[in-house]
Amino acid sequence: MILTTVCYIEKNGKYLMLHRTKKENDMNKNKWIGIGGKFEEGESPEECIIREVKEETGLTLKAPILRGIVTYTFTAYQTEYMYIFTANDFEGEVTECNEGELKWIEKEKITELNIWEGDKIFFEKIKKDNKFFTIKMEYNGDKLIKYKMKEY
């Protein structure tokens, strides 16, 4: 299994998004995703997202908020557990990313981008309210087959 984090960093009604274009053999190739990545040995979810955001954007998160946990099952990849954070308290300036293009995108336009089908579901959830949630998403290739969400 794979453990990952993602953060939707907010500023002026926009989220900082990453258009994944630079990595070879990338399951996210040409998709727009939030900022994040895989855990390193011994890291907590908060430590992982703070490190990943700093590495990919140059920004230092001050108070990331854990919003939910996603379980992904795929036909072609390992099961992935992803911790979803949001943040609007950070320092620094955005720097160039070695994984693709970083761009501030208006929240209302995110779902128009080439994003994972399931991301649209939890993205609408984090825009709508602050309730913690878990969601399991089952994929066949890039196609979302089914999902089940629980709010707390």
CA distances from residue 121 to 15, 21, 110 in whole angstroms, order as listed: 16, 23, 12
- Residue 108 is given by DSSP the state G
Residues 46 and 124 sit within 8 Å (Cβ to Cβ): no
How many helices, marked H, and strands, marked E, lie in the chain? 2, 11
| Domains, the chain, ordered by start | 2-151 (3.90.79.10)
Q: What's the pLDDT band for 29 if we cut at 50, 70, 90? A: confident
Query: Phi/psi at 113 (nearest 5 deg)?
Result: -80, 170
* Token pair belonging to 126: 């984090």
Q: Residue 71's Cα: distance from chain center in Å? A: 13
End-to-end alpha carbon distance in the chain = 25
Whether the pTM exceeds 0.85: the reply is yes
**pLDDT per position as a tens digit, 117-126:** 999 998 889 9
**pLDDT per position as a tens digit, 57-75:** 999 999 999 999 999 998 8
**pLDDT per position as a tens digit, 123-143:** 889 988 889 999 999 999 889
Distance (Å, rounded) from C-alpha 143 to C-alpha 12? 32
Q: Is the pLDDT of residue 25 over 80?
A: no
